[in-house]
Amino acid sequence: MSFTKKETVLISFIIVAVLVRLLPHPPNVAPITAVALFAGTHFGRKHWALLMPIMAMVVTDIFLGFSMITPIVYLAFTAITALGFVIKKMHLGSVLLSSLLFFIVTNLGIWFLYYPLTPEGFTTCFTLAIPFFGYSILGDFFFSAALIFGYRFAAKRLQLA
């Protein structure tokens, strides 16, 4: 398995972001949504783009723990990476759309697993999730900016194509 110089730099940025997930942080202020979108917009080999956020989650979940919702969370990150394939560029709109996609997919899963499958259960689930969505947006914008600007700096300095 060999990586191009560009892929090696991309992977190193993702590794740093993943390590940050292991540090104490407010709920949902984590780098993985940004990693998923970043991978989808920057990796030429789509299979590596899809694997990056999933590998990041598996490695960190070994330390942080798995739950009933884990497969749905992984599905949300896979969808965000695929969104990156389509959008092809990280910007405020794509980061916000990624945050919204994660919010909807994961909360549908939480509703299905933990709440009554009624309109009231749906409303309760999504209403209680709103504060976490604010944290998610904050983290997604912060980590996306760190990945975008950090990569631009490294790419310029290392003269990556």
pLDDT of residue 3 exceeding 90, the answer is: no
pLDDT score for 83: 98
How many other β-carbons are positioned within 10 Å of the β-carbon of residue 19?
Answer: 13
Mean pLDDT rounded to a whole number for the chain: 94
Burial of 130 (0-12, 13-18, 19+ CB in 10 A): exposed
HEC-encoded secondary structure of 1-61: CCCCHHHHHHHHHHHHHHHHHCCCCCCCCCCHHHHHHHHHHHCCCHHHHHHHHHHHHHHHH
Is residue 143 pLDDT above 70, yes or no? yes
Mean pLDDT of 40-62: 94
pLDDT(5) > 80? yes
Residue 160: pLDDT band by 50, 70, 90 thresholds? confident
Distance CA 103, CA 52 (A): 20
Residues 25-52 have a mean pLDDT of 94
**What does the longest C-alpha to C-alpha distance in the chain come to?**
55
pLDDT at 161: 60
Q: What is the pTM of this model?
A: 0.94
* 42 has a pLDDT exceeding 90: yes
Residue 159 pLDDT > 80: yes
pLDDT at residue 17, rounded to an integer? 83
Helix or strand holding residue 79 (H, E) = helix 70-87
Q: What is the pLDDT of residue 39?
A: 95
